[in-house]
């Protein structure tokens, strides 16, 4: 009586293995970690547009997948937008006859750092995403001395700055160009609230060596257009385990 039962089990086991649904392997094609770099073009809006023209800069982000399918991720982002420059030549110290001449470059810019959730949806090969970030930003005016002969930085100083809370909301599309690298196109709104900031000509050098500042004050919000690339981490391509 045991022989028919054993024979039934032997034949039934491979059949059940074929018919049973595969066990959850816990793997996904969406990388656990991703890193991106992008060029940004900032378009001031509202009162900020009255004082500042376009801004240009760069942005980087790190993204970690939080669920198996890559729908929900955590995004950490930082970027710098330069909205004004001016340059002039001056003497180094008080050497007679201006024996040593240098170039002083003054840069006005915005540093933004934020963190928040990112939601994604797969549209064929395209990955559509949206994110919301909260963090801080600094409106800074920095002057640096360029040696003139070589493109080296001799000295620099932070002349003026205004720190505060900032937030951003954006969306974008990623189009894969290799197995681990994608083109990244996106747009984001940056809200910085009321800020004091300098524009071109906002610093006056006085005869006694002191500086006079003429800051602007307004809401300082902008739209940032982004074009860059995103790559999976680590560089060795493999499926990530949840």
116: its two tokens: 């928040």
Least confident of 1-5, 124-128, 210-214: 1-5
DSSP state letters, 113-161:
EEEEEEEEEEETTEEEEEEEEEEEEEEEEEEEEE-SSSS-EEEEEEEEE
What's the Rg (C-alpha) of the chain?
28
Closest CA to 199 of 120, 124, 108: 108
Query: Which residues are bridge partners to 167 per DSSP?
Result: 134, 191
Q: Of the ranges 22-31, 59-68, 74-83, which one carries the lowest mean pLDDT score?
A: 22-31
The predicted structure's pLDDT at residue 145: 79
Q: Which of 55-69, 139-153, 198-212 has the lowest mean pLDDT?
A: 139-153
CA distance 238 to 242: 13
Least confident of 1-15, 159-173, 182-196, 226-240: 1-15
* pLDDT (0 to 100) of residue 18: 43
Cα gap 31→63, rounded to integer Å: 10
| Higher per-residue confidence, 71 vs 17 | 71
Taking the model in full, what pTM does it have?
A: 0.78
Separation between Cα atoms, residue 147 and residue 155, nearest integer Å: 9
Instruction: Average the pLDDT over each of 78-92, 140-154, 215-229 and give the range with the smallest value.
Output: 140-154
Task: Please report the beta strands in 23-71, taking only residues with DSSP state E, as ranges in sequence order.
Answer: 27-28, 33-44, 55-65
* Model confidence band, residue 233 (pLDDT cutoffs 50, 70, 90): confident
8-12, 186-190, 203-207: which range is least confident on average? 8-12
Q: What is the pLDDT of residue 209?
A: 74
Instruction: Give me the pLDDT at residue 170, please.
Output: 97
Residues 83-116: tens digit of each pLDDT: 998 888 777 666 566 766 777 889 999 999 999 9
2's enclosing H/E stretch is helix 2-19
Please say if the pLDDT value at position 76 is more than 60: yes
Output the pLDDT for position 240: 41
């Amino acid at each position: 009586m045991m022989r028919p039962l054993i024979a039934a089990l032997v034949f039934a086991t491979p059949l059940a293995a074929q018919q049973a649904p595969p066990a959850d392997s816990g793997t996904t094609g969406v990388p656990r970690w991703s890193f991106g770099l992008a060029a940004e073009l900032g378009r001031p809006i509202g009162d900020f547009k009255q004082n500042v023209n376009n801004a240009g800069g760069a942005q980087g982000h790190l993204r970690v997948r939080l669920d198996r399918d890559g729908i929900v991720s955590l995004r950490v982002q930082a970027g710098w937008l330069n909205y004004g420059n001016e340059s002039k030549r001056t003497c180094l110290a008080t050497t007679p006859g201006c024996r040593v001449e240098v170039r002083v470059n003054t840069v006005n810019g915005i540093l933004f750092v934020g963190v928040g959730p990112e939601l994604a949806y797969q549209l064929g090969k395209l990955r559509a995403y949206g994110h919301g970030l909260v963090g801080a930003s600094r409106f800074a005016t920095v002057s640096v001395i360029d040696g003139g002969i070589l493109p080296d930085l001799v000295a620099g100083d932070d002349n003026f700055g205004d720190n505060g809370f900032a937030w951003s909301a954006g969306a974008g599309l990623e189009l894969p160009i290799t197995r681990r690298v994608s083109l990244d196109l996106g747009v984001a709104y940056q809200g910085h609230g009321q800020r004091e900031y300098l524009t071109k000509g906002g610093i006056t050098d006085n005869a006694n060596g002191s500086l006079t500042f003429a800051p602007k004050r307004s809401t300082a919000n902008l739209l940032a257009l982004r074009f860059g690339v995103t790559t999976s981490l680590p560089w060795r391509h493999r499926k990530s385990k949840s």
